[in-house]
Amino acid sequence: MGFAVNSTARMEQLEVLRIELGVLRQEHRDLDDAIRALEDTGTADMLTVKRLKKQKLALKDRISVLEDRTTPDIIA
């Protein structure tokens, strides 16, 4: 009985992680669009662009961590 509860809890946890991944990926795309728009105008404040790129990189790192947590270990 305990295994079924743990299995269900694990599945729910994975679903939450997948949802969070989707949100983070969307935020990453939004930042990419914002950076591109600022750079395309030619009047972009370089400090702002640099900050956005730093945020984007932090999101990418967070996405990688969550992807690792949702991907099962495969023994080759």
pLDDT value of residue 74: 75
Residues 55, 36, 47, CA angle at the centre, nearest 5°?
A: 50
pLDDT value of residue 2: 54
| Residuewise pLDDT in 10s, the chain (76 residues) | 455 667 888 889 999 999 999 999 999 999 999 999 999 988 788 999 999 999 999 999 999 999 998 887 777 6
pTM over 0.85: no
Q: How far is it, in rounded angstroms, from Cα 58 to Cα 36?
A: 18
Residues 57, 13, 73, CA angle at the centre, nearest 5°?
A: 70
